[in-house]
Amino acid sequence: MVPEGAPGPIVVIGDVMVDRYITGSVSRISPEAPVPVLVHGDERIVPGGAANVAANAAALGARVTLVGLVGRDREADLLNAALAAHPGIVLDLLVRDPGRPTITKTRVMSGRQQIVRIDAETVAPPGPQMLEALIGAVAEAVRGARVVVLSDYAKGVLSDNVIAAAIAAAQAAGVPVVVDPKRRTFEAYRGASLVTPNRSELAAATGLPDTTDAEAARAAEAASAQFGGDVLVTRAEKGMTLWRRGGRVLHVPAKAREVFDVSGAGDTALAALAVALSAGQPLEACVHLANAAAAVAVGKLGTAVVTRAELLAALEEAGTPGIPPGALLETDEAARVFAEWRAAGARVVFTNGCFDLMHPGHVALLEAAAREGDRLVVALNTDASVKRLKGEGRPVQDEAARARVMGALRCVDLVVLFDEDTPLRLIETLKPDVLVKGADYREDQVVGADVVKAYGGRVALVPLVAGRSTSALVAKAKG
């Protein structure tokens, strides 16, 4: 699940902020008014809002271009200096607007206790000149990006025009757009691949509850209908729920070991997700990574970045395997991955066969199998097992070759081998939720059907594509 490929360039467009922390200690009440007296200790500036997303993505190894609006003021200089501490962030396309202050959130802290927050901000949309500059910056930034992130805090940067420009440029470049929304409806995000509301943003957009996993999935589906893409709901202590077009759902429980400060956890999650996407990871794997990164972020005080080293350490500690999609695994390793998937609420589908010369009939069966749940595992007969079943001369391709081809299919999550005549032992060990075979079998003929049903799983028979078979291909090749 840790990105295998290198992260690609990312663009973050949105409401850039300065988070200022004034810390000290309080030991008395003022004689002038019933307020605490803070003895000033320290002051620090950290990137906030969209700048926090950019800082987190850079800390995870991506090159990030940040697009947004700052003022022509001291805070903008302080923000630039704070961002310069994160190598890999390009700041040339931050637009300076003399007509507005740099959004600054000042927290006054006594130790870990926040006493007051003081906001300096203008939320009005930018004037025509600044809007033009922003749209120009968006067009330039999106060129060459692998993922575009819109980080909306409803402060005015992500106006309809800017959103439309970003999505159009991303679509033209064929790159995904991920949106952290603040709008009351997601219609303006049409064309985005993924929108990541938190609980209140989801409730505001849909009016639906998300207390249970099932409710969260239903609300996410309703949100998806507003713009046509996938939805990832970040559900604070309940973790995350991913709803994908076509109805596949993934629930990932929160992993945090200690929670100090949840502010900015959504920014970290968004950044981790974008970095994993830019490295070519499947969306489900990106969500696991985002959830793990958020768990580290909530253990830190204040707005914070999570580094690649911290994320790797957290994943290792949690025993999360770095399994690439479609990997060929030993049974015990597969069982460990199954347990992880289950813990994350995924329904695991199992199917088996020789899959000697892969043809469109196989692909249709596997795609149909994948639609029966959230993860698909394919058990392949070993060479010895195929030979026993089909006779001398088979398989045409050895097990390593068959596993390699099988694992390369987008719908296949894992491949395992079995040496017996049937996969019964494997089914008993792995306990899949759904057992799939082609509809040339009757349910009572499917090996393992009774085992799966006995523990509450189910059997699905999927239609076959007529006229396709490996044996026919072999016969044809022989002339």
Ligand X SMILES: O=P(O)(O)OC[C@@H](O)[C@H]1O[C@@H](OP(=O)(O)O)[C@@H](O)[C@@H](O)[C@@H]1O
Ligand Y SMILES: Nc1ncnc2c1ncn2[C@@H]1O[C@H](COP(=O)(O)OP(=O)(O)O)[C@@H](O)[C@H]1O
Q: 198 among the known binding-site residues? A: yes
State the binding partner of 291 from ligand X, ligand Y, none, CB within 5 to 8 A by kind: ligand Y
Nearer CB in complex with ligand X: 19/433: 19
Determine whether 267 is an active site residue.
yes
Count the residues of the shown chain that bind ligand Y, applying the rule CB under 6 A: 18
Alpha-carbon distance of 270 to 289, in angstroms, equals 10
Alpha-carbon distance of 425 to 67, in angstroms, equals 55
Shortest approach of ligand Y to residue 256 CB, angstroms? 4
**Which residues, at least 6 apart from 393, have a Cβ–Cβ distance to it below 8 Å?**
474
Interface contacts to ligand X, rule CB under 6 A: 17, 19, 48-49, 52, 105, 153, 263-264, 266-267, 303
Nearer CB in complex with ligand X: 19/356: 19
Name the one residue in this structure whose structure tokens are 């893409």: 229
Q: Any idea how long the chain is?
A: 479
State the binding partner of 254 from ligand Y, ligand X, none, CB within 5 to 8 A by kind: ligand Y
Q: Are strands 194-195 and 177-180 parallel, antiparallel or unpaired?
A: parallel
Q: Which of 86, 182, 235, 437 binds ligand Y (CB under 6 A)?
A: 235
Residues 199 and 171: beta-carbon distance below 8 Å: no
Q: 199 among the known binding-site residues? A: yes
State the binding partner of 256 from ligand X, ligand Y, none, CB within 5 to 8 A by kind: ligand Y
Q: Which of 133, 164, 208, 262 binds ligand Y (CB under 6 A)?
A: 262
Shortest approach of ligand Y to residue 64 CB, angstroms? 19
Question: How many other CB atoms are found less than 10 A from the CB of residue 418?
Answer: 18
Residues of span 173-232 touching ligand Y by CB under 6 A: 198
Residues 252 and 287: beta-carbon distance below 8 Å: yes
Assign 42 to helix, strand or coil: strand
Q: Are strands 36-49 and 177-180 parallel, antiparallel or unpaired?
A: unpaired
Assign 310 to helix, strand or coil: helix
Q: Which of 102, 104, 206, 291 binds ligand Y (CB under 6 A)?
A: 291
State the binding partner of 17 from ligand X, ligand Y, none, CB within 5 to 8 A by kind: ligand X
CB-nearest residue to ligand X: 48
**Which residues, at least 6 apart from 241, have a Cβ–Cβ distance to it below 8 Å?**
210, 213, 216, 217, 220, 232, 233, 235, 249, 250, 251, 252
Q: 121 among the known binding-site residues? A: no
Nearer CB in complex with ligand Y: 164/236: 236
Residues 346 and 336: beta-carbon distance below 8 Å: no
Alpha-carbon distance of 277 to 303, in angstroms, equals 23
Alpha-carbon distance of 193 to 215, in angstroms, equals 22
Nearer CB in complex with ligand X: 29/154: 154
Alpha-carbon distance of 59 to 41, in angstroms, equals 28
Indicate which residue of 19, 152, 180, 267 is catalytic: 267
State the binding partner of 156 from ligand X, ligand Y, none, CB within 5 to 8 A by kind: none
Question: DSSP label at 464?
Answer: P
Nearer CB in complex with ligand Y: 344/405: 344
Contacts with ligand Y, residue ranges (CB under 6 A) = 198, 234-237, 239-240, 254, 256, 259, 262, 265-266, 269, 291, 294-295, 298
Which residues make up each annotated binding site for ATP?
A: 198-201
Catalytically active residues are 267
Which residues make up each annotated binding site?
A: 198-201
